[in-house]
Amino acid sequence: MRRALFPGSFDPLTLGHYDIINRGVHLFDEIIVAIGINAEKKYMFSLEERMQFVKEAFKSQPRVKVSTYEGMTVDYCKEIDAGFILRGLRNPADFEFEKAIAHTNRKLTGIETVFLLTASKTSFISSSIVRDVIRNNGNYSILVPDSVRVR
């Protein structure tokens, strides 16, 4: 089975994330959307809310699962037998950052990282931009899946 881990904080899930997951389903037998837990980070949405955003967005896609993890992403990959890490790239800065992590992960564990370029219509969206729009009472509904709009 080709299982990929799509890690992130998903605070909140965006249309960019949604697009990468939907496209990744055609490449892998299963995608585990893994919400990382970092005690040092201040989240806008609770872990339960973030999990629900993903579950609701992909409720009709049985090959997408949701989980949480702490620690190194590659350790969690080994724990759940995921041979791939799926990542989306929005711009050259994302690539340079993700490339170093991918090389390190492959050197440490042999786990491959698969990069998908974000769709041009979602390449400007980031969770931090969405949080800013929400904080300032802006219309964030065009940046997130319906599952997040219920807030």
Q: Which residues are catalytic?
A: 17, 41, 90, 127
What is the side-by-side order of every strand in the sheet holding 30-36? 64-69, 30-36, 3-8, 84-89, 112-117
Three-state SS for 94? helix
Distance, CA of 127 to CA of 144 (rounded, Å): 9
Dihedral of CA atoms 96, 130, 85, 89 in degrees, nearest 10, equals -40
